[in-house]
Copies of this chain bind each other. A is one copy, B any other.
Amino acid sequence: MKQYSAEILCVGTELLLGDIINTNAVFLSRELSKMGISVYHQTVVGDNPDRLREAFCLAWSRSDIVITSGGLGPTYDDLTKEIICQCLELPLVADEPSMKEIENYFARRGREMTENNRKQAMVPQGGIALRNPRGTAPGIYVETEEKRLVMLPGPPKEFEPLFLQAAKPLLEKLSGKVYISDTIYVYGLGEASSESRLLDLMTVSKNPTLAPYAKEGEVHLRVTSSADTEEEAHRMNRDMIAKVRERIGDYIYGINAVNLETVLAGKLMEKGCTLSVAESCTGGLLSKRMTDIPGISSVYLGGVCTYTNEMKVKVLGVRQETLERYGAVSEEVAGEMASGIASVSGSDLALSITGIAGPGGGRPEKPVGTVCLGVWYRGKLYTERVQFGEKASREYIRTLSASKALFLGMAAVDEKLKNKE
């Protein structure tokens, strides 16, 4: 199979000023690499005709596939299409469906359509307009005997779906294969451990490929198969996922999941089970993450952030004696916080976190990164003490503590926790 090379050419002065991050380049690089296409160059130039021309000609001369982002808008400094068509000596012709769509867009809004808007519906002769559901500028696809050119609008909200829906299927035809990816979400196993347990699958297997992405205490394993049909690629992915599950199944919390909180929310909704939380060092982060989810109010009752001992006693009913004997950061206090918020809220599941997020507050017996968690589930209590690295940042400790609580919450609902009482 021929190895195709690609170049990403992003056009926009705001990128050169550092006003925006080039997320299109990272998105596209990842997508193309999943498809087995090698990206050898990423280039950024401003809205400048000469430099754009120079950059495009160079890209076109050295790469099989050139994908541009930006400069398709209606204003005078949107030049990508015009300059590239000059380079390729392709006349621009009106694409009737696009023209119709832009006319409708303006008619619906009762606004007048100008010549500049009309310009957006022009495509190079022989090219294909890629319908853009999120904006007025269509993308453009041009195929020559040897090369492929894709031009997409710059805003990521238009760029990303337009690539996936319209451009990707056209590029897949190059190899005659379809590419399907699934992501295995892993919690509680570091990147190094994942790699050592899966090394042969990661290195030996070329189709499907298995690639790890480390992300704040989690590892996401991307499985990508290429095959003649979607069905075949899905089947190959399923086989690989089964192999991975055999080795590290206990750590897998979802396939193509969004994140831990979304998976926990799904389990709660499925079982009709309500949740409340009590936090100290995470300061509301756990509650915030649960309430990021639209519609969570059907299962989430609320939370308390008790940053002082007084509030732990007053709001959660933690005993003064427990605080004095074991200290605020202890499994005992975590347990009383969990049962306390369960009693206040009447929830089925309650999660608690108390710890030392630093940078101050560490002591020899409880250094920075010491975190105690409590899980109360329908009358049963589980607690655990964990130790994040002393060098870990406040943000990292807080994020990982909330993640750990969410993971324990899932285990509780799945009746997989060994309860202490």
Contacts and interface: CB of A to CB of B under 8 A. Distances in A.
Interface of A: 15-23, 25-33, 38-46, 48, 51, 55, 58, 213, 279, 281-288, 290-292, 294-297, 300-308, 310-311, 314-315, 344-346, 358-360, 394-395, 398
Contact of A286 (B23, B284, B303, B344): B284
A129 to B, nearest CB: 27
Given A283-B288, A284-B305, A55 B26 contact: no
B45 A44 contact: no
Given A33-B18, A302-B308, A311-B301, A41 B44 contact: yes
A26 B18 contact: yes
A207 to B, nearest CB: 17
24 contacts: A17-B33, A17-B39, A18-B27, A18-B28, A18-B32, A18-B39, A20-B26, A22-B26, A283-B291, A283-B296, A284-B291, A284-B303, A284-B305, A291-B305, A294-B358, A294-B359, A294-B360, A297-B307, A302-B304, A304-B305, A304-B315, A310-B345, A311-B345, A315-B344
A127 B314 CA distance: 65
A221 B300 CA distance: 40
Contacts of A32: 18
A183 B58 CA distance: 39
Given A286-B284, A287-B284, A305-B302, A30 B42 contact: no
Contacts of A25: 18, 22, 44
Contact of A288 (B45, B284, B345): B284
A contact patch SS = mixed
Contact of A44 (B42, B283, B305, B307): B42
A24 to B, nearest CB: 10
Contacts of A360: 294-295
7 A-B pairs with least C-beta separation: A283-B291, A18-B30, A284-B287, A18-B29, A284-B284, A42-B44, A284-B288
A308 B15 CA distance: 45
Nearest to A6: B16
A21 B15 contact: no
B292 A395 contact: yes
A31 B41 CA distance: 24
Contact of A41 (B19, B51, B305, B395): B51
A57 B311 CA distance: 65
Contacts of A29: 15-18
Contacts of A284: 279, 284-288, 290-291, 303, 305
B17 A30 contact: yes
A296 B27 CA distance: 37
B307 A291 contact: yes
Contacts of A302: 304-308, 311, 315
Given A282-B291, A302-B311, 12 more contacts: A15-B26, A18-B30, A19-B213, A40-B45, A41-B45, A41-B51, A41-B55, A42-B43, A283-B287, A283-B290, A296-B307, A300-B307
A333 B306 CA distance: 22
A308 B40 CA distance: 54
